[in-house]
Amino acid sequence: MSAPGGMFRGPFGAPAVSAEDDVVPAGIRLDRRSSVSAESMSSTAELGGCAQFPKTEHQKERLMAALMPNLLFRQLENEQVQSLLLAMREKRFAKGDVVIQQGDDGDFCYVTEQGTLDVFVQPFGTPPEVAVRAGPGELGQKVATYGPGATFGELALLYMQPRAASVVATTDCVLWALDRVSFRSILAHSDLKRRILLDSFMQQVPLLHHLREDERLRVCDAIEFVEYPAGETVLREGDIGTQFFLIMNGVAEVIKQNQTVSLLQRGDYFGELALLHRAPRAATVIASPRSPSQKLRVGVLQEDAFTRLLGPLSDIMNRHAEMHYGATPEVPATTEAPPGSPRSSGAPAP
- Binding annotation for 3',5'-cyclic AMP: 154, 163, 272, 281
Can you say how many angstroms the Cα of residue 256 is from the centroid of all Cα atoms in its chain?
35
Determine the residue type at 346: G
Work out the angle at residue 120's Cα, subtended by the Cα atoms of residues 128 and 92, and round it to the nearest 5 degrees: 100
3-class DSSP assignment, residue 215 = helix
Enumerate the β-bridge partners of residue 226.
298
Binding-site positions read: 154, 163, 272, 281
Cα separation, 267 vs 205, whole angstroms: 10
Q: Can you say whether residue 223 is alpha, beta or left, with left for phi > 0 and alpha for psi between -120 and 50 degrees? A: beta
Q: Can you name the residues that pair with 93 across neighbouring β-strands? A: 173
Return the half-sphere exposure (C-beta side, CA atoms, 13 A cut-off) of residue 82.
Answer: 5
Angle between helices 213-222 and 303-310 (to 10 degrees): 140
